[in-house]
Structure 1
Amino acid sequence: MDMSKRPSKDMLLGDYPFESKRFEGIESLFSTFKGKEFQEKNEHAKADGINRALADLILKAPEPAFLIEEVVDFISRVRKENLLQQYTFSSFELWLNQFSNVSTEENFKIRGKVVGKWVPRDTYQLYFPIGMGKSYPGTHFVTAHNSPDLDTTVASFWGWVDAFAARVSKGLHIWNVPGGPPTTQVEVKLLFNDLFGEGIFDCLGKPRLSLTLTSLDLMTQQGMIRKQTGTSILSFDHERQRNAVVLIDKEGYYLGDWRTIDVEGVRQVILSLNNCLMWFESNLHIQLISCFSEERLTVDHISKVVKGLLKMKISECAPAKELPPHQLQFVNDYLVKVLQVSKGIEADFEQFARSIEKVGIVNFTEIIAWLKSLLKSELFDSAGVLTENRPLIFNQLEVLVKMLSEAFTSVRKHVDRLDIAFRIKTDVFGFIPQYLTHRTDLEEIRSKIGNYSYMTVNQTDLEGRQIPIGVVHAADLQQDVLGTVSLRDFCNREEMKIPSYLQVISVIDHHKSALQTDSPPKAVISDVQSSNAIVAELAFTINDQYGLGGMTEKEVNAQLKEMEKKLDTVQNIRIYQRLLQKKKVLCSKGAHYVSPRREMVEYLHFIYAILDDTDLLTKVSRIDVECMASLLNRLKSLIVKKEVEIVNFDDIKEDEAFTAKAAERLLQNKDFYSLYSKVYKHKEQGVDENFEKCLKGAPSNIFTDTKILNYCNRVGQTKIFARNYATFKKVAPELQKRWYEKALNIYANNREIMLHLHATSTVASAEELFKGGKISYDHQDEMWFWIPHTELAVEKLKLFLSGFKGSPAVQKLHLELDLYGNNARELSQIFKESFLPIEHHFPKGGPDLPIAVLRYNAGGLNSRKAMIAPYLPRLAE
């Protein structure tokens, strides 16, 4: 939507065009990603380049910005062109938090531009308990409930948007829609795919049926040091620095870990061999000095001494003889497997020197040749006797000492390198590198980490090479709370199988709730028909405090001047108040903003979500209708860039009929009708299509709106329109069979779920509601019952019927009961004992299923939450 263009005031809300958005210059940017230089990088370097480019695009975008659509487009392109594996918005946030090195202020700036609201962090205390700078460890999930409907999908989406902006946690912020979005609802395409791009759920959301943590959620860069293998093991101190040292090659790929527990064992092996070499060096000095101190030294004698030293086996030197057998074996394996000395400790020092020379450490051949040339030097006369030339003798000894010192220093530098130490760890001790993948779940992490202080998290590239991206510290796994959760449109742990290590900190709900927390959550639970009525009211608070509704200062001042002369009605006073609030925002001269595009999109979301959960406002509270009126007025004001009201209830008497009359006025508003009519026409067509899909075994939404309530009740609802009834009547027997088979399967897997109900509810069509007047139907709605053949199940059914018969809605209905199957008489007796006195029928030729079908006035029971759920028995009753 181009906010710079002022549309006609006569344009209806449903006709307003939203223009597709993408980042400027994105084509040329992606052409560089296809270049040879970029393609030659490893996966981690590619990810850094792509994420940094996205961050730059976000920061350069002009304010006020709302960039979710542009970001989804960017991520979708990366995925489509296979530039990175499994790239999502979480990948970008992980980079932003741990690899970007941007300042805290820039981090929040990026978040604000993405979500379209740049406001102080503590403003989000409306939604989350983050006062006084509080931030939570680990990942923060914002989740919808199982079998998501539009209400929970929309509420959880904006909950995630606000959580991401507020940076509720130190880790990732995950939007979870269990099993994926309710794609059979036509609003999903309109509100998500059309406004944000086809890839929105793949890019932004997760479809997890239960919440758990993976290595990415627990990973950190804190204390992690990447070291190449050429580094000396003496260049850092584990104990002092308490670091996680990860070994990488020159290209950045993972080789292994160098842990505190590795140091001592490896150092002992290295020192054991070094002691042997130092002994050789020292003994060579002593033996030569001893020789040269003799009165008559011959070539034969010194030759014998030198050869004796060079031919001595490593195992025969004094330090080697003092080693315990297992340590001597380690030294042998070190020589053979790491230093390529094939004979190990049975090699003599000359063989050791020549083997070491082959791996390019030092030129020992030069030393050995020099020792042998010493015998033919001018130090000895023609008879082979040492000459009395002290300067020459000491000069030659000095040369030898320097050569030996430099040689053994080079050897020690070589064996003190990390690659040598690591090979001792792996080849000598047999410790194979243990690591985590970026998908490893918490239970596997705990089983793998054992006594280690940390484990490295690796990402695998297309060639199977491992790239270290972080570490998980064992100490972090010992915390009681490893992550946090926000619930939207439900309020219990069981719905999403939330484990104890995830703390629920935020709830917005309109159902019966059951939740225990260790610290106070931010919970907003209200008696409204749609949870998005609550979400909308909270959004109004922030939008009014920091937003201008798309108006400029000049436009605000002009309308204020105009309205000063018209303060003779309640409506005009309200408009004047809202203009004054905008004037107040302007006078504050703050840098904060709310994007008008963001406001328009979220208001549109709230409108359709409230419509869906209230069945076109046929079941509403006062809060629902007043919220809807405010949404419509705000949306129209944003479109025309002027504060207006297209609907109000000033002339409706505030009595018991107020809510119904207010809902009727809303539904007969032409702007509102332009929004809901096009969707609900598709909904009517979709019901018949879903009946056919269900019969064919294809995915449909006929039984998706099913919930487990009070642990022992499974209650579903299918909404139809009057024009769908003919199709429903035709397919009902087959649908009942499929529903019964599903109930049997559920009970077989969980015998606590004993009472199975499914209601088919007729809702009014868009045309019927827009025309107004009393709506009547020629058909009946129905509720199906099934219980297993147990005394406890019978007791649960009787408890439900006893409470249900007292419902005000039920007492206004004309009820009758059809009973089928071999337990028809038994079910009939249960209803006679515990329910109202109604007609019982035993139809012949009906489905041979052990079910009861309660029939009643169409549209009479349209709310599972208000009309069925309050009477359901508890498991412990």
Structure 2
Amino acid sequence: MKHESFIEFSGEWISDVQFRPVRFSSATLKKLEKVSPKLSIQEKHEHINGILLEAISESEKPCFLMPHVVHFIARVRDFILPTYHLSSFEFWLSSQTGIDEATEKEVRGKIVGKFVPDSTYELFFPIKKEEEKSAAHFAVAHLSPDIDTTVASWIGFLDSFGSRVGKNRNHWVVPGGPPKTVETGLAFYDPLSEHVFATLATTSKSYFLTSLDLVSTQVVKKGLNEPSYGIHHGEESEAVIVVDKGGRFISDWKLRDVDVVRTIINRFFAIFSEFENAFHRDFMILFSEEKVERKDLHEFIDQKLNMTFAGSNLFRELSPRQQEEMNEFIQEVLAAPKGTRSTLSEFFEVDPGHSSFDRVLEAVRALRSADHLFRSGTLVSDRTTIFKALSSVIFLQTEAFRKFRAYIDSLDIAIRIKKRVLRSEPVFVSHLADFDEIHSKMGESQFVTVVYKEQEHLYPLGVIFRSHLKQKPLAAVSLRDFSNFTETNIPPYAEVISVIDHHKTEIKTEAPAMIHVQDVQSVNVLVAQLLFPFNDKIQKHHMVLEHIDHELATAAETYEVPTYLRIMERLVIRKQAYYTDERYFISPEREFLEYYQILIAILDDTDLLTKVTSRDVECVRELINRMKSLLLSKEVEVVHFDDVEQNEDFAKEAAKKLLCTYDLYSLYKHIQEKKEEVLHELIENTLRGNDVDTFFQDTKILGGGYAAVAQFKHFPGNVPKLIEQQQKLHSIWIERCKQEHKIDPEIRLFLFMRSSLPSAEELYQNSHTSLNYRDELWIWIPEGDALALNEMKGFIRSLDRSPKVAGQKITVALSEEAVEMMEKAFHDSFAKRIVYMKEPLNPTMAIIHVKPGSLNSRKTDIATNL
């Protein structure tokens, strides 16, 4: 089945792209509607996963089915299973024995829009053999995620899912949830719907392995009626669990259980066989006597039926503990109330396992009144009559013993012995149990069973072997931005295998990791630089071969022009891709979407290219050209830097040219209009006491942990409202600082950057409007905290010497109440620039007024001074 594209482009500029809602066929959705609500949760999962797999398998290549999958999962969550998630399907897909490896890889490729050789992914991850893979993989955004880390981690997740870096599951971790920004809507909600994070991501602030990440389906399931002997227990590689007829979990059956349970059963059989042999022997002796009176038979029967288990020779040879176990076995498992004090008659009446002992008892008792065996009270001499009567009793006894032995040898009895005699309960954990709980429950057991609880029933999903918990690493982590343990909460059992970062990196690994670190403004610049050659190897579906040849011929006619030389180079790469294995593909939709998301993230992290490196601008140029080429299905070059001089101002001048490119302008103008509107609404909500967390969400802990630095970026249109309500905003922020300091006293210096961004028109026209406002840096420290005061002094001294501040006409606003403490701190650096505010500022608050746009980078302008 061929699906319609979810990307519509009928205009002229990149911003004219529209993302159309897509879904699987109506036939697929009708199958979902037929999933019976009466099914168990596990059965519902089975049906739903089967429907999804079928829909994916029927889809023609090339395809990018993630938008369809998100819609499918959202529909399941709304109407059938509220907790259904992509990881639910992935777990099922990985554990299905009927799906071969090649099919699974293709299914994954169709979902993520890239089906490529495993080796291609080595640009991003160390690709390991199946037996060397970690149980799970986490593609992680940093704490308080911005759009930069969210996009980078999203692409990392798609690639890890496609290449199955984690053996069981691959997770996308967005701690605390996605940023509440316009960019998130444009990059994720518009193309993938508002359900994208709920259906695909993990948004808790900490992440950890659960049972489903570690579970193995190498399980042998046995019924209660199956024999307990002869079950093969592989060495730490095969587990046996016992289930009822409905597939519900009863118990585990471990190697260590076999001997202790079997010993109790064998002791019982030995005692029981003692009775059986004595009965046969003495019965034959009695009937071999020349003269047997009726009373002799009565006495014999009474004597045998009144024998107790406790009276047997073998029982008396047992230790007190063994005797107690035998008593509990007979009493608790075989349901004879008196235990070892039970007589054979009482035991036969209980008839454990419906073995027909009651018929044996009836036949033996019938011998007492068998008149045809006696004449005048003496046993007849007709041996045929005697042995016919004897054989009838012995046959019933033999048949009853056979049934009873089969019953005793069943797993039903074995599990009852384990629970009621040995007091050994089955070891199991929930499918959501974390690593610590699993480790605790495991103890010295060979394995622990993973179960799913529905109402009062437990359904087994598989087991976790103790040997697997010893493997290192249990989990693999890929970091996208802020690659350090402080800001990524890496669990101790996990190891970093991949890093893409544009900050200082502090990572220790036991094995070589794939690490890309460069000094660029946005981490997505590095992601894009890796994606370009990755996509070029396989991408062959946005242009037909005949079109490529025609374009090559056209470009060759004007090869002297650098633009056409570059176009020819890209066309040759396209043609080379046509000769790769025809099974593989990269969906043009997936390629366009990731470029689109990356471009949005770069524009945000560079504040519309106002803080860039040469790599940043080169990347944006490449993105624009590639995106336009994909939309037009031909190689084009919208923008180049041939006319930009390669000197120290190259990045700045190239950025200006990019911003004057209408394709880019149309996009960032659209973004800015939406952002200005949203920011205005956010300010209003914050003033009303709502959305305060969102207003201050862009907060990072710097300076080794003592400084909390928040930043709020806004546009010229937002300034009047900010100035009008600044006093109320000051109060809200200070109260927030106090609460944060109370929670973590180590955080002592609080900074808030109110940074303005230029308007879209200014950037496009490369002009500067005279502004009648200034950006602000708010500072607050706890009152009476000498250490905080000292740290603030150090920051102020360093800031005053920084290049962006040194030449500025800066003013510092203090409350009149702040003179005693704060003025001294500012005196050395800003003594001549202190002004006193009429508004009642907090006694330990100061505001530094700077030129608009001059302090806009927390990393460059603030972190370096802490």
Residues 820, 852 of structure 1: 8 Å contact kept: yes
Out of 200, 203, 207, which is 2:199 matched to?
203
- The alignment status of 1:300 with 2:298, answered yes or no, reads no
What is the CA–CA distance in structure 1 between the aligned matches of 2:363 and 2:420, rounded to whole Å? 35
- The alignment status of 1:164 with 2:161, answered yes or no, reads yes
What is the CA–CA distance in structure 2 between the aligned matches of 1:413 and 1:6, rounded to whole Å? 70
Residues 209, 496 of structure 1: 8 Å contact kept: no
Q: Which moves more between the two structures, 537-546 or 808-817?
A: 808-817
Aligned residue in 1 for 2:847: 853
1:537 Cα shift? 1.3
Out of 432, 448, 453, which is 2:441 matched to?
448
**Structure 1 residues 134 and 616: CA distance shift in structure 2, 3 A:** farther
Matches within 5 A, 1:338-357: 338-356=333-351
What is the CA–CA distance in structure 2 between the aligned matches of 1:807 and 1:40, rounded to whole Å? 69
Q: Secondary structure at the match of 2:437?
A: helix
Out of 682, 693, 698, which is 1:705 matched to?
698
1:819 Cα shift? 1.7
Aligned residue in 2 for 1:146: 143
Q: Which moves more between the two structures, 404-413 or 530-539?
A: 404-413
Q: How far does the alpha carbon of each residue in 1:766-795 deviate from its partner, in whole angstroms, 9 at most, with x for none?
A: 122122223442111111112333333233
Q: Which moves more between the two structures, 529-538 or 736-745?
A: 736-745
**Structure 1 residues 467 and 305: CA distance shift in structure 2, 3 A:** same
- The alignment status of 1:246 with 2:241, answered yes or no, reads yes
**Structure 1 residues 448 and 3: CA distance shift in structure 2, 3 A:** closer
Q: How far does the alpha carbon of each residue in 1:114-153 deviate from its partner, in whole angstroms, 9 at most, with x for none?
A: 1111111111111112267785322111111111111111
Residues 633, 644 of structure 1: 8 Å contact kept: yes
1:375 Cα shift? 4.8
Out of 358, 363, 371, which is 1:365 matched to?
358
Out of 739, 750, 767, which is 1:745 matched to?
739
Aligned residue in 1 for 2:21: 20
1:74 Cα shift? 1.0
Matches within 5 A, 1:742-781: 742-781=736-775
Residues 821, 850 of structure 1: 8 Å contact kept: no
Q: Secondary structure at the match of 2:354?
A: coil
1:30 Cα shift? 4.1
Matches within 5 A, 1:572-583: 572-583=564-575
Residues 2, 19 of structure 1: 8 Å contact kept: no
Aligned residue in 2 for 1:232: 227
Aligned residue in 2 for 1:624: 616
Out of 279, 295, 303, which is 1:284 matched to?
279
- The alignment status of 1:614 with 2:610, answered yes or no, reads no
Residues 822, 846 of structure 2: 8 Å contact kept: yes
Residues 816, 836 of structure 2: 8 Å contact kept: no
Aligned residue in 2 for 1:543: 535
**Structure 1 residues 239 and 656: CA distance shift in structure 2, 3 A:** closer
Give the number of equivalent residue pairs: 861
Residues 812, 847 of structure 2: 8 Å contact kept: yes
Residues 691, 731 of structure 1: 8 Å contact kept: no
1:541 Cα shift? 0.9
Matches within 5 A, 1:93-132: 93-99=90-96, 101-130=98-127
For 1:110, give the aligned amino acid: V
Q: Secondary structure at the match of 2:375?
A: coil
**Structure 1 residues 859 and 109: CA distance shift in structure 2, 3 A:** same
What is the CA–CA distance in structure 2 between the aligned matches of 1:52 and 1:99, rounded to whole Å? 11
Out of 623, 626, 631, which is 1:639 matched to?
631
1:591 Cα shift? 2.4
Matches within 5 A, 1:510-521: 510-521=502-513
1:187 Cα shift? 2.0
- The alignment status of 1:669 with 2:664, answered yes or no, reads no
**Structure 1 residues 731 and 93: CA distance shift in structure 2, 3 A:** same
Q: Secondary structure at the match of 1:164?
A: helix
Q: Secondary structure at the match of 2:578?
A: helix
Q: Which moves more between the two structures, 371-380 or 63-72?
A: 371-380
Aligned residue in 2 for 1:783: 777
**Structure 1 residues 227 and 41: CA distance shift in structure 2, 3 A:** farther
Q: Which moves more between the two structures, 568-577 or 423-432?
A: 423-432
**Structure 1 residues 749 and 40: CA distance shift in structure 2, 3 A:** closer
Q: Secondary structure at the match of 1:852?
A: strand
- The alignment status of 1:565 with 2:560, answered yes or no, reads no
**Structure 1 residues 810 and 738: CA distance shift in structure 2, 3 A:** same
TM-score (norm 1): 0.94
Aligned residue in 1 for 2:724: 730
What is the CA–CA distance in structure 2 between the aligned matches of 1:91 and 1:819, rounded to whole Å? 56
Aligned residue in 2 for 1:259: 254
Q: Secondary structure at the match of 2:378?
A: coil
For 2:848, give the aligned amino acid: L
Matches within 5 A, 1:459-538: 459-461=452-454, 463-538=455-530
Residues 549, 638 of structure 1: 8 Å contact kept: no
Q: How far does the alpha carbon of each residue in 1:73-126 deviate from its partner, in whole angstroms, 9 at most, with x for none?
A: 1111111112x3511000011111113531111111111111111111111111
1:394 Cα shift? 4.5
Q: How far does the alpha carbon of each residue in 1:219-269 deviate from its partner, in whole angstroms, 9 at most, with x for none?
A: 2223x2222211111131447676332221111112222233433333333
Residues 243, 249 of structure 2: 8 Å contact kept: yes
What is the CA–CA distance in structure 2 between the aligned matches of 1:867 and 1:516, rounded to whole Å? 28
Unaligned runs of 5+ in 1: 873-877
1:489 Cα shift? 1.5
What is the CA–CA distance in structure 2 between the aligned matches of 1:728 and 1:843, rounded to whole Å? 17
Q: How far does the alpha carbon of each residue in 1:448-472 deviate from its partner, in whole angstroms, 9 at most, with x for none?
A: 32332222111122x3421111222
**Structure 1 residues 821 and 500: CA distance shift in structure 2, 3 A:** farther
What is the CA–CA distance in structure 2 between the aligned matches of 1:824 and 1:445, rounded to whole Å? 58
Unaligned runs of 5+ in 2: none
Residues 261, 414 of structure 2: 8 Å contact kept: yes
**Structure 1 residues 726 and 135: CA distance shift in structure 2, 3 A:** farther
What is the CA–CA distance in structure 2 between the aligned matches of 1:313 and 1:355, rounded to whole Å? 14
- The alignment status of 1:793 with 2:788, answered yes or no, reads yes
What is the CA–CA distance in structure 1 between the aligned matches of 2:99 and 2:555, rounded to whole Å? 47
Q: Secondary structure at the match of 1:436?
A: strand
Q: Secondary structure at the match of 2:664?
A: helix
- The alignment status of 1:386 with 2:382, answered yes or no, reads no
What is the CA–CA distance in structure 2 between the aligned matches of 1:75 and 1:508, rounded to whole Å? 30
Aligned residue in 1 for 2:804: 809
**Structure 1 residues 23 and 242: CA distance shift in structure 2, 3 A:** closer
Residues 824, 852 of structure 1: 8 Å contact kept: no
Q: Secondary structure at the match of 1:125?
A: helix
Residues 780, 857 of structure 1: 8 Å contact kept: yes
Q: Secondary structure at the match of 2:433?
A: coil
Q: Secondary structure at the match of 1:234?
A: coil
What is the CA–CA distance in structure 1 between the aligned matches of 2:255 and 2:82, rounded to whole Å? 33
Residues 487, 506 of structure 1: 8 Å contact kept: yes
What is the CA–CA distance in structure 2 between the aligned matches of 1:317 and 1:863, rounded to whole Å? 90
For 2:122, give the aligned amino acid: Q
1:322 Cα shift? 2.7
Out of 35, 59, 62, which is 2:60 matched to?
62
Q: Which moves more between the two structures, 333-342 or 664-673?
A: 333-342
For 1:785, give the aligned amino acid: I
What is the CA–CA distance in structure 1 between the aligned matches of 2:134 and 2:116, rounded to whole Å? 23
Q: Secondary structure at the match of 1:637?
A: helix
Q: Secondary structure at the match of 1:868?
A: helix
What is the CA–CA distance in structure 2 between the aligned matches of 1:375 and 1:773, rounded to whole Å? 121
- The alignment status of 1:50 with 2:48, answered yes or no, reads yes
1:724 Cα shift? 1.2
For 1:455, give the aligned amino acid: V
- The alignment status of 1:436 with 2:437, answered yes or no, reads no
Q: Which moves more between the two structures, 117-126 or 428-437?
A: 428-437
Q: Which moves more between the two structures, 272-281 or 822-831?
A: 822-831
What is the CA–CA distance in structure 1 between the aligned matches of 2:541 and 2:799, rounded to whole Å? 47
- The alignment status of 1:89 with 2:90, answered yes or no, reads no
Residues 229, 417 of structure 1: 8 Å contact kept: yes
